[in-house]
Every structure is written in C-alpha cells, then in structure tokens.
C-alpha cells in the first residue's frame, strides 16, 4: 500500500522509495527533505475530533503539493507530513519561509476553518545520501526545532553531535551523581519592597570532572533526551529537602525553588514521586517550569500542576518572554509567579525597548495577581530601576551568585540585620560588596 487511505497522501515507505529514485537520478544539485508537524495536535484533536484533524493533515499536504518544486508528499505520523524537492541551500532557505507561511493560512475543515501552528524540519542531502537517513535527519530536525522552540530548523550533524558520545557523557553523569560529584548551589532572591530574602533558586553544579565542553544547561538538555533527567531531579529534590532542614536549624525559613523539566511534569507518576520525596515538607519547595514544558503536553501538565499547587507548592513560570505564550494563555494555569527572562533584564538600562516590555509585563502580571521576579540583575542601576517599576523579587549576580549551602548561610546572616528595614541600606550594602 503506497497511499495513506485517509488523506490520499503517500505513506512514509512510498515517499522513501520515490526519494531514493530521485537521489539516484539527480546530478549535482542537492535534495532537500522536509517534515512538518502540527503543534499541540493532541489538544486540537480533542477539540475538533479525529476526522477534522485528518482533514487538516490532508490540507497541509495539498498546500505543499501546490508548490511547483514539490511533487511528493507523505503522511509519516498522525500529525506529521513529509516531502522533498530538488535544489540547493538557497532554495532550501527560501522554501523554509514559503512553506511556513503557506501552512499558516486557515485550513477548511467540515464545519468551519481553523488555523494551526506547524513546525518544520529540513535536511539537506546530495547524490551520496541514503533516502532513509535523509528522512530520519529531517525528522530529527523537527525535534530540534521543537526543543529550541523554533518554527523551522535545518538539520546539522555537528550540532546534533554523535549519539555515542552523548550516551557516554550520560553514563559519566550517572556515575558522578552516585559518587557525590554533584552539588546544589542556591541563588538568593530579594524581596524588592523589604530587602528580605525569603527564597532561593537551587541550581545544579557538577563540582568535579564535568566535561568542560558542556554547560549545566546543555547537560540538562542531554539528560532530558536520554531520560536521565529523572535521576537528576530526584537527587536534586532530596538534596534540597535536606538543605531546607539545615537552614531551618540555622533559624531560616526559606523556600527553595527547583527547576522542573517539562518531561517530568507530563509523566503520570510525577505527583506520587513528588510526595514521596517531599513528604509533609513539600510546601517548602517552589517549582520553576518553562513555557515550552507547558505547551508540549498541556493537558497532562495542567492536571499535574494543579495537584502540585493543591499540595502547597508555588509554581513559577521561568524564562518568561522567550516562548510564544501570552499572559492571557497562561492565566489559566496555577501559576503564582512569572520570572522575566534575563535577556530583557541584561540591557534594561541601556535600551529603550526592554524597559517598555518589562514595565508592561509587570503591570499585566499584577493585574492577573501574579508576582514578578527579575533574574539576571547584574548592577545597581538595574536593581533600582526594577524596584521603581514595581518588580516584586530580584535575583542576579548583583545580589549574589549561586552559593554553596555554607556560603548561603553566611550571606543570610550578613543581610539579616539590613533586611526588613528598607532596601536603601541593602542596596548600599550590596554595592559595597562589589
């Protein structure tokens, strides 16, 4: 069977055969394979039904076929189509935007029209490429686009790296975790109004032997790909609960914010695991999640986050402003705090645009009864401006870098006397420290 019965498009196998024929008969010019996936397809299918979803997929296929360059299109997954065309990298670039624009238009389905978001992955091949490999690379590019929260992505072997090397690093990471080579550092968050520190963000550190070419952010991303993020998060929560108790002994009632990967939030046993790890102290944790985490599997994530919130865990939206969600979209989530991404804070005092964005985000968040945290506060001028704008909580190198537990205790002792009066003296104190 070479045709998908529901949409009339080719099957993956048939597309692969046509691709192999074209590679065999094409001379010097390259071949470009693309895959286009519908975002939030589960959600859309739940809303409009399976048949209308099939109509959408078929509509996208027809739109691709309407382009002169494209002669073959297949349905390769319930929500994904793929096709190819002959050309060079300049044409690939041109087609990236043309395809994306074409897919954005409204699609007619029985009962009305609908517009869907698509993500497109591309892979560039030539005479020596294998059809299967090119298709796989285009599928990987779709995944890379989604992981990077981009609409289009061209597969790059160097960025993808070698799978064996990545697996090697992950087994090293597992060993390091067991051997006690990891630590959590805590970055203080200052309440703008009072200058008090009531919360800290826990950030993972590989204290010895970390492969230097990878940052913590990149290691986390790798761990999400291999499933190791589960071990890491378990470890981090256990460590944080332990450190919270140590802080209590020192007389500090501090909330610890843990970064939670989207993958975990979407798992069925996520809540059971959190309860197991946090017990009756779970409410001392705060959870940081990102926009991407939410949008990938919104239904499951929503249920889990609601349960987590019911257990007393405050939920923050991390890196806000880097994705596509609007405040009106996230106001239905049990989120009590927005963390504006560092990129808007870094140049706050040097540009005209960022203060406008930050100011209006603060005002909108307050209208929705959410607190606002600014991260990446690196100097006194930014600190002062954010406070004047009504930002609730400030975090960044200007206040303190992420600190090992013992240094956090020293920091808390030093700021203790100053906090709770007002932040004028705190600002002076912090400025003197620099």
Among 216, 272, 367, 410, binds ligand C2E (CB under 6 A): 216
CA distance linking residue 248 with residue 257, whole number of Å: 16
Q: How far is the CB of 1 from Mg ion (least distance, A)?
A: 48
Helix 380-389 to helix 353-367 angle, to the nearest 10 degrees?
A: 40
Taking CB positions, which residue lies at the least distance from ligand C2E? 396
79/288 with CB nearer ligand C2E: 288
Q: Which stretch binds ligand C2E (CB under 6 A): 91-99, 143-151, 215-223, 361-369?
A: 215-223
The reply to whether 396 sits near ligand C2E by the rule CB under 6 A is: yes
Site string for ligand C2E, 268-307 (x = CB under 6 A): --------------------x-------------------
Residues 22 and 29 sit within 8 Å (Cβ to Cβ) = no
Among 55, 314, 319, 392, binds ligand C2E (CB under 6 A): 319
The reply to whether 379 sits near ligand C2E by the rule CB under 6 A is: no
Residues 425 and 418 sit within 8 Å (Cβ to Cβ) = yes
CA distance linking residue 238 with residue 255, whole number of Å: 14
CA distance linking residue 202 with residue 183, whole number of Å: 10
What are the residues whose beta carbons fall under 8 Å from the beta carbon of 405, sequence distance 6 or more?
184, 186, 243, 246, 247
Q: How far is the CB of 251 from ligand C2E (least distance, A)?
A: 26
Among 314, 318, 392, 423, binds ligand C2E (CB under 6 A): 318
Q: Which stretch binds ligand C2E (CB under 6 A): 11-19, 34-42, 118-126, 376-384?
A: 376-384
Residues 285 and 313 sit within 8 Å (Cβ to Cβ) = yes
Cα torsion 246, 186, 320, 197 to 10°: value is 70
The reply to whether 10 sits near ligand C2E by the rule CB under 6 A is: no
CA distance linking residue 171 with residue 178, whole number of Å: 11
The reply to whether 199 sits near ligand C2E by the rule CB under 6 A is: no
Residues that bind ligand C2E (CB under 6 A): 187, 203-204, 215-217, 220, 233, 236, 259, 261, 288, 318-319, 342, 375-378, 396-397, 402
């Amino acid at each position: 069977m070479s045709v998908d019965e529901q949409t009339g498009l080719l099957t993956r196998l048939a597309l692969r055969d046509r691709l192999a024929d074209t590679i065999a008969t094409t001379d010097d010019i390259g071949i470009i394979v693309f895959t286009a996936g519908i975002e939030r397809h589960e959600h859309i299918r739940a809303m409009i039904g399976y048949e209308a979803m099939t109509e959408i997929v078929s509509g996208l296929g027809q739109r691709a076929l309407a382009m002169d360059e494209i002669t073959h299109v297949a349905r390769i997954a319930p929500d994904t189509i793929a096709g190819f065309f002959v050309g060079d990298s300049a044409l690939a670039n041109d087609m990236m935007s043309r395809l994306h624009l074409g897919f954005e238009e409204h699609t007619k389905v029985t009962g009305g029209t609908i517009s869907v978001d698509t993500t497109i992955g591309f892979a560039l091949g030539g005479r020596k490429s294998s059809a299967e490999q090119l298709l796989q690379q285009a599928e990987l590019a779709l995944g890379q686009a989604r992981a990077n929260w981009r609409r289009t992505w061209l597969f790059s072997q160097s960025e993808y790296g070698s799978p064996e090397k990545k697996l090697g690093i992950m087994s090293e990471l597992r060993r390091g975790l067991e051997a006690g080579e990891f630590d959590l550092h805590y970055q203080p968050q200052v309440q703008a109004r009072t200058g008090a520190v009531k919360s800290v963000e826990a950030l993972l550190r590989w204290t010895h032997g970390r492969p230097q070419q990878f940052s913590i952010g990149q290691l986390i991303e790798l761990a999400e790909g291999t499933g190791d993020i589960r071990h890491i998060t378990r470890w981090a929560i256990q460590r944080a609960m332990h450190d919270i108790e140590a802080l209590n002994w020192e007389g500090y009632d501090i909330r610890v914010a843990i970064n939670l990967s989207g993958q975990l939030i979407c798992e069925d046993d996520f809540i059971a695991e959190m309860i197991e790890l946090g017990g009756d102290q779970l409410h001392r944790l705060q959870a940081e999640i990102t926009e991407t985490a939410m949008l990938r599997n919104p239904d499951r994530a929503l249920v889990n986050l609601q349960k987590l919130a019911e257990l007393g865990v405050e939920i923050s939206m991390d890196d806000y402003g880097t994705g596509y969600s609007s405040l009106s979209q996230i106001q239905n989530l049990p989120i009590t705090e927005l963390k504006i991404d560092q990129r808007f804070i870094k140049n706050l005092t040097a540009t005209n645009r960022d203060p406008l964005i930050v100011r209006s985000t603060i005002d909108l968040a307050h209208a929705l009864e959410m607190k606002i945290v600014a991260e990446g506060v690196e100097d006194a001028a930014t600190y002062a401006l954010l406070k004047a704008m009504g930002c609730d909580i400030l975090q960044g190198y200007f206040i303190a870098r992420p600190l090992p537990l013992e240094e956090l205790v020293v920091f808390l002792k030093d700021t203790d006397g100053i906090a709770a009066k007002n932040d004028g003296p705190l600002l002076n104190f912090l400025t003197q420290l620099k």
